[in-house]
Amino acid sequence: MSASLPTAAPAGAIKHRSPLPREARDTLFLLAIIAATLVPHAGHLPWWCSLLTALMLGWRARLAWRSEALPGRWSLLAVLALVIGLTFATHKTILGREAGITMLAMLMALKTLELRARRDAFVVFFLGFFLVLTQFLYSQSPLIALWMIGCVWALLSALVLAQMPQGVPSLKLAARIAARNTLIGLPVMVALFLLFPRFPPLWGLPKDSGARTGLSDSMSFGAFADVAVDDTIAMRLRFDGAPPPQPQLYFRAQVLTRFDGKTWTTSRVTWAPGDDAPALEGPVFRYEVTMDPLRVSVIPLLEFSPGATGARLPVGRLIATRLPQGQWQVGLPVAEVLRFRHEAWPRAAPSTRLGRADRNESLSLPPGVNPRVRAYGASLNERFAALDEDALAQAVSRELLTQIRRDGFGYTLAPGAYGETTPDAIDEFWFDRKLGFCEHFASAYVVLMRAAGVPARVVTGFQGADPNLQDGDLIVRMSQAHAWAEFWTPSRGWQRADPTAAVSPERIEGRPLRPEPGLFTGALDQLRPGLLTDLRAAWEGLNARWQRTVLNFSTGDQMSLLKRLGFDNPDWTTLGQVAGALLTATAAIGAGVAAWQRRPHDPWSRQRLRVRRELDRLGLATRDDETPRRWAASLVERHGPRAEAVAASLLQLEAQRYRQDLVAATSQWQRLFAEQCAALRQVLTR
């Protein structure tokens, strides 16, 4: 964007052909940069915002290409009012993250329609820099980082062009200057990255909606006709030794006890802290977790995790508290990457404690819905009435799991919707269609157990992991999100039962169902089986290294760095002192460079400066626009024959500037000139 962006051309101006005038070229270059900056936001912005932005940028490009007049102020105000109205209608506010980014994108596009002066271009530049920053609120992947670096480079190039008002400097030259200046500032950026204090995110990440595999703080039976498999990574686990076998990889997240006939939600029963920790038995597995933002308020941990109700666990910068049902809860949905260490005893025996309120809630069923399931559960209770409570629970569970294995039930990610024509969705699933995924089987199992008089509840989390380690990490994906059941017995407490294992054992053995391959995926598999898997593993390995070395660079890493630099027991004060010292040194270096750049570096200019200083000491005022010949004439006019030697040297200096055959050694001439000036001063002071 050149400084000559100023005024809009009058209507009906001549249409330019190639080559474009500088104003049009710089404007089109800036519009292309803005479009590139907005592209990654397209998936997060409302559809109307992307459409209006594209239309306005296209409109501005047409005006620049044809050198036509820009729209009037009233037109822009009308569009601005429309944008504010649409933003409020979409987000119910014009504040906050989502609404703010929407408004920022629209204001950027609107501002291009009033580029009448260089100051308008500067506003666009800095809106662009801020828009680059907002993209990292959605994604911090290496690809996004590379794309944003390119956008920043392009914006800096446009900024350089705006600072070069004369002539028609090439885009290549501006890009080279921008790259050079960026490299000069790179050490400062690295120092700030290493030493700037780490704070939690200013905004949390939005909660996903829609039918996708993953975790949630609630679960609705039959809400989705099908689910899309989300194969993104949820957690990376690095065990101190060999990891547990696949059937033991149950990561407990949320426990859902209340059921209204459609939706499972968490318990309302509150317990005081007590001695209800699991009895730790068998081998212990110690591991490090790197957990992506799961956007739920619980931390899924490998069962069984030590701790009684009310125990507290540091997870990254957060603190998780153990609830009575065994889940670990944080105050808000997790909106940042967490890294922490933990340990688990898969064979631990859970507590047998069960309060009256919790028992009542774990037996409760909504009246008037699913009558066939309730009747069948009651018949099972009568059938095993002679058994004690422990044996009754085990017998009913075996009977239900046997039915799932033998009575034609099927595991599928696309079972179709349940409960569209009747509220009795679980009746429809269990007795009629018998198709579903883990939530259907866990929900139906728990309702049947309760109908048979056995306390039961739904547990959600993750089950299983990728069969092969990736750079030493065990990978747990969002597609391995799972729901299972627990039932209670007086002698053994809460026992896990996974109905999915009865209908689809491969799901529990580390082979989750995959969607049918698409055209592109199928073509890659035909080219070389497993190629897509290998490419994905390579990318995820790169992303993991980026995560560990860059995104997960924490306060602890900063303190470790200070220790390696020789500081004993560093703290926040030490970090601030080192950062302040580096910034002070950087400022001093910058001031020194600026002072050096202000000095003339051309030999002729430096020599002129020294000559003028000598003449000033002789009392002769000199100006920048005067030549040595003029100074010589002024000296003779003022001091007569006494100044002829100095005047002759000044004439020689001017000759040196233009006649290479008369060039003498600079230092020799300067020494002689200084001696002549000193002699003249002595004569003048007598």
Task: Name the DSSP class of 464.
Answer: -
What is the pLDDT, as a whole number, of residue 662? 45
Percent of the chain scored above 90 by pLDDT? Answer: 16
The beta strands (E) that lie in 174-327 are given as: 219-220, 233-239, 250-256, 258-259, 263-265, 285-291, 301-302, 312-315, 318-322
Q: Strand pairing partners for 475?
A: 236
CB 294 within 8 A of CB 476: no
Question: Is 498 in the active site?
Answer: yes
What is the pLDDT, as a whole number, of residue 556? 67
Percent of the chain scored above 70 by pLDDT? Answer: 83
What is the pLDDT, as a whole number, of residue 10? 41
Average pLDDT of the chain is 79
Whole-model pTM? 0.59
Is the pLDDT higher at 258 or at 164? 258
Catalytic residue among 438, 440, 466, 473: 438
> How many CA atoms lie within 13 Å of 189's alpha carbon, on the beta-carbon side?
7
Catalytic residue among 26, 466, 473, 498: 498
Secondary structure class of 343 (helix, strand, coil): strand
pLDDT in tens, 80-90: 888 888 888 88
Kindly indicate the confidence band of residue 17, based on its pLDDT and cuts at 50, 70 and 90.
very low
Is the pLDDT at 632 greater than 50? The verdict is: yes
Q: Strand pairing of 285-291 and 301-302?
A: unpaired
Question: Which whole number is the average pLDDT over 319-333?
Answer: 87
Question: Is 49 in the active site?
Answer: no
Is the pLDDT at 8 greater than 50? The verdict is: no
Catalytic residue among 41, 44, 342, 482: 482
Kindly indicate the confidence band of residue 285, based on its pLDDT and cuts at 50, 70 and 90.
very high
Question: Is 438 in the active site?
Answer: yes
Kindly indicate the confidence band of residue 9, based on its pLDDT and cuts at 50, 70 and 90.
very low
CB 294 within 8 A of CB 252: no
What is the pLDDT, as a whole number, of residue 484? 93
Q: Strand pairing partners for 290?
A: 236, 339
Is the pLDDT at 672 greater than 80? The verdict is: yes
What is the pLDDT, as a whole number, of residue 523? 57
Question: Which whole number is the average pLDDT over 362-375?
Answer: 91
Report how far apart, in Å, the C-alpha atoms of 584 and of each of 188, 192, 265, 354, 596 are.
Answer: 11, 13, 55, 62, 18
- Residue 574 CA to residue 639 CA, distance in Å, equals 66
Is the pLDDT at 611 greater than 90? The verdict is: no
What is the pLDDT, as a whole number, of residue 368? 87
Burial of 206 by CB count in 10 Å (0-12 exposed, 13-18 middle, 19+ buried)?
A: middle
| HEC-encoded secondary structure of 344-376 | ECCCCECCCCCCHHHHHHHHCCCCCCCHHHHHH
Task: Name the DSSP class of 471.
Answer: T
What is the pLDDT, as a whole number, of residue 11? 39
Task: Name the DSSP class of 177.
Answer: H
pLDDT in tens, 527-542: 656 566 666 667 666 7
- Residue 496 CA to residue 71 CA, distance in Å, equals 68
What is the pLDDT, as a whole number, of residue 309? 83
What is the pLDDT, as a whole number, of residue 479? 81
Is the pLDDT at 518 greater than 80? The verdict is: no
Kindly indicate the confidence band of residue 455, based on its pLDDT and cuts at 50, 70 and 90.
very high
Is the pLDDT higher at 453 or at 418? 453
Burial of 288 by CB count in 10 Å (0-12 exposed, 13-18 middle, 19+ buried)?
A: middle
pLDDT in tens, 22-41: 778 888 888 888 888 888 88
Q: For 528-627, where are the alpha helices, taking DSSP H only?
A: 531-546, 555-564, 572-598, 603-617
